[in-house]
Amino acid sequence: MKLNGMIKVITLLLVMCACLPAGAVVIPPVPTEPIYFEPHVIDAPDDLRHQSCAQLDNNIRYLQPYKYSYKPNYYQDNSNKLATAMITVDALPIVGEWLGFAYLGYSALVEEKENRRILLVKQQIAMFQQLKSEKHCFE
């Protein structure tokens, strides 16, 4: 008896689902913004255009140390190893995992900030090299 009642309920549900109006799947619009970060080209101000070749060389020389990152890689950073161990080893339940995830997120943010800083310095060096080439300093 119970099986017969269950079959009726399932049949009724299937009929109700079949009678529902079917809507078309709406495709979200394609984003017009670039997905990845695209650096802008730095234009040289007029006061830099009047500098001599030696001054442009000095500007490049002073910017060179800022082109490098002194933050250790993900795999060389011992704090990242500790955070990963806190996540995988359940020594401190819940708290250790949250602290590990929080530090890994912080580390990724610091690395992104460092990469953007280095990109800006490289763009400035490229601008000075462009000015040097316009002034024919390489001849």
57: containing domain: 46-139
Q: Residue 38: inside a domain, yes or no?
A: no
Tell me the pLDDT band of 34, cut-offs 50, 70 and 90.
Answer: low
Q: Residue 19: inside a domain, yes or no?
A: no
Segment of 20-34, 39-53, 124-138 carrying the highest mean pLDDT: 124-138
Q: Residue 83: inside a domain, yes or no?
A: yes
In angstroms, the CA 137 to CA 36 distance is 35
Domains in the chain, number:
1
Q: Residue 92: inside a domain, yes or no?
A: yes
pTM of the complete model: 0.64
Q: Residue 15: inside a domain, yes or no?
A: no
pLDDT of residue 6: 64
**What mean pLDDT do residues 105-120 have?**
90
pLDDT of residue 21: 67
Hey, is 53 helix, strand or coil? helix
Q: Is the dihedral of CA 134, 137, 138, 139 positive or negative?
A: positive
Q: Residue 32: inside a domain, yes or no?
A: no
